[in-house]
Amino acid sequence: MSEIQAEFELSGRTAIVTGGGVGIGRATAAMLAEAGARVVVADRDRETGERTAAEIAEAGGLAEFRAVDVSQRLEVDALVEATQSAHGRIDVMVNNAGIISDAPFLEISEEDLDRVHAVNFKGVFFGCQAAGRVMVDQGSGSIVNLASGAIDVATPTLVPYATSKAAVAQLSRSVAVELGPFGVRVNAVAPGFIDTPMNERHASGPDGRLDPKKHGEVLAARATMSPLGLTGEPRDIALAVLYLASDAGRFMTGTVLRPNGGATMPW
Ligand code: NAP
């Protein structure tokens, strides 16, 4: 194995990926497993979570499913405790689970605001705290939190989502400062538009199913936001997570990495 390969190698390490059943979480879980990690695919959706874990195992990786609702502190604590007692350590915590809601600002209900922040912000907070305790005891670990390009660009109808993601970015920096002296790195990844189930709502027909024509139009329109003319795929984000999760990212903490095809730079 070359020195470069060794820096990305995760053999003998344990990783948790929340929201690992589909989309970015699924691609991330698969990539961390391909790099050698034992991966806990944690999701509130048992069917997709079990499927991802099975796909990883079929490909020769080490994976298992655990159910979690990240908005519930006790469930996140239980996920981390169960993982630590099963595997002895937690080296990587990817707080990826997230939800989105679209509504004009003046019509956003308190329930909707709380619902989005409970998953997107509190879920990440709980994940950082629970995994952070284990990692501080170990004297090592890497936490990667999913923010969004919505922290850079003000987008209409996304106030609960954008504010929850801005909080994730600042949470990551704040926790990085506190846990750095214990050997724990904390970073955020802020993806641009990625073709995942989360974004199918932009391309569904009247029956709620994905409309292939509309889907193609949405992807083409999003590609124009990048100077590269590209739309991102879940794998593009997984690669950024792998970098931060592995020893290749040993000098990285408190950063917000922006794999977004250049979409949010001023140009
Ligand atoms: P996705 O396709 O909607 O998948 C999210 C996964 O997380 C689903 O399996 C979902 O289950 C699960 N989940 C939702 N709430 C949960 C909870 N409370 N506890 C446990 N699991 C939960 O999302 P994605 O597009 O892959 O996005 C992943 C992350 O990247 C999110 O944090 C998102 O905000 C962020 N992001 C995405 C994009 C993009 O363009 N896709 C851009 C920037 C940032 P259900 O199916 O049951 O909801």
Give the Å distance between the CA of 14 and the centre of ligand 1. Answer: 21
Give the Å distance between the CA of 101 and the centre of ligand 1. Answer: 12
pLDDT reading at 107 higher than 90: yes
Mean pLDDT of the chain: 97
* Partners of 64 in the β-ladder: 40
pLDDT score for 174: 98
Region 36-44 average pLDDT: 98
pLDDT reading at 267 higher than 80: no
Give the Å distance between the CA of 244 and the centre of ligand 1. Answer: 19
pLDDT reading at 244 higher than 90: yes
Which atom of ligand 1 approaches the CA of 193 most closely? 40
pLDDT score for 266: 85
Q: What residue segments make up the domains of the chain, in order of their start?
A: 3-192+233-252
Q: Using one digit for the tens of pLDDT, what is the confidence trace for 63-104?
A: 999 999 999 999 999 999 999 999 999 999 999 999 999 999
102-122 as b/e, with b when 16 or more CB fall inside 10 Å?
A: eeeeeebeeeebeebbbbbbb
Give the Å distance between the CA of 100 and the centre of ligand 1. Answer: 8
Q: Using one digit for the tens of pLDDT, what is the confidence trace for 205-224?
A: 989 899 999 999 999 999 99
Torsional class of 23: left (φ above 0), alpha (ψ -120 to 50), beta (otherwise)? left
pLDDT reading at 27 higher than 90: yes
Superfamily for domain range 3-192+233-252: NAD(P)-binding Rossmann-like Domain (3.40.50.720)
Which residues contact ligand 1 via a Cβ below 6 A?
18-19, 21-25, 43-45, 48, 68-71, 96-99, 119, 123, 146, 148-149, 191, 193-194, 196-199
Q: Using one digit for the tens of pLDDT, what is the confidence trace for 151-206?
A: 999 999 999 999 999 999 999 999 999 999 999 999 999 999 999 999 999 999 98
Where residue 236 falls among pLDDT bands split at 50, 70, 90? very high
User: In the β-sheet with 141-146, what is the strand arrangement from edge to edge?
Assistant: 62-67, 38-43, 14-18, 92-95, 141-146, 184-189, 256-257
pLDDT score for 54: 98
Secondary element (H or E) of residue 256: strand 256-257
Residue with tokens 């908005």: 71
Measure Cα distances from 162 to 19, 110, 115, 171 in Å. Answer: 19, 16, 13, 14
Query: Which among 100, 115, 196, 219 is the best mutation to test ligand 1's pocket, defined by most ligand atoms within 8 Å of the CB?
Result: 196
